[in-house]
Structure 1
Amino acid sequence: MPRHKTTDPGYRNKHGQVVVSRTGFPSESFPGQTIYHLRCSHCGHDYGSNGTDIHLRRCPSHQGGVRGEPLRTPPPNLFSV
């Protein structure tokens, strides 16, 4: 499966939305997609987005963007340091 730079952590779109990480949780709005943690570089608002529209996203807090998908805390990992 090809990788797209728009889903890489650190990617910033033209509206200042930055990919923080891949959550690993499935998207509720787009079957087959994963939720990514995004942060607005202008106001710091954190929200989730599926991978297909990261390049177009606007902040839902102050840029009139669509409400993001929920960010969930992953369960504890027995192997985490």
Structure 2
Amino acid sequence: MTNFQSTTPGYRNKHGQIVISRTGFPSESFPGQTIYHLRCSHCHHDYGSAGKDIHLRRCPSHQNGMKGEPLRTAPPNLFSSECV
């Protein structure tokens, strides 16, 4: 998997949108893309975005940006994250 700077957690685009994490869920708008959790640094609005759009995104809440993709909660993990 190729990593791009704009998909790295902590990346902030020129409109103040910050990448929080990779969700692992597929994009509903762009086949082959993954949804990333973004947060507006101005109003703290959380939303999802396909990886290819992150560098251009504007906040859908107050910057007239396009509606974000849905953020979903991952299902519970059957295995503990603890090392045995």
Under TM normalisation by the shorter chain, which class is it? over 0.9
What's the offset of the Cα at 1:3?
Answer: 1.3
What's the C-alpha RMSD, in Å, of the aligned pairs? 0.9
Q: What percentage of residue pairs aligned between the two structures are identical?
A: 80
Give runs of aligned pairs for residues 2-81 of structure 1, distance below 5 A.
2-81=2-81
How far apart in 2 are the matches of 1:80 and 1:32?
Answer: 29
How far apart in 2 are the matches of 1:69 and 1:23?
Answer: 11
Per-residue CA deviation, residues 32-58 of structure 1 (Å, 9 max, x unaligned), is: 000000000000000000000100000
Larger Cα-atom Rg: 2
How far apart in 1 are the matches of 2:18 and 2:80?
Answer: 25
The runs of at least 4 consecutive aligned structure 1 residues that moved more than 3 Å come to none
Give TM-score, length-normalised by structure 2: 0.92
Give TM-score, length-normalised by structure 1: 0.96
Per-residue CA deviation, residues 9-43 of structure 1 (Å, 9 max, x unaligned), is: 00000000000000000000000000000000000
Q: State the secondary structure of the residue aligned to 1:54.
A: helix
From the superposition, tell whether residues 78 and 57 of structure 1 become closer, same or farther in structure 2 (CA, over 3 Å).
same
Q: State the secondary structure of the residue aligned to 2:53.
A: helix
How far apart in 2 are the matches of 1:32 and 1:26?
Answer: 7
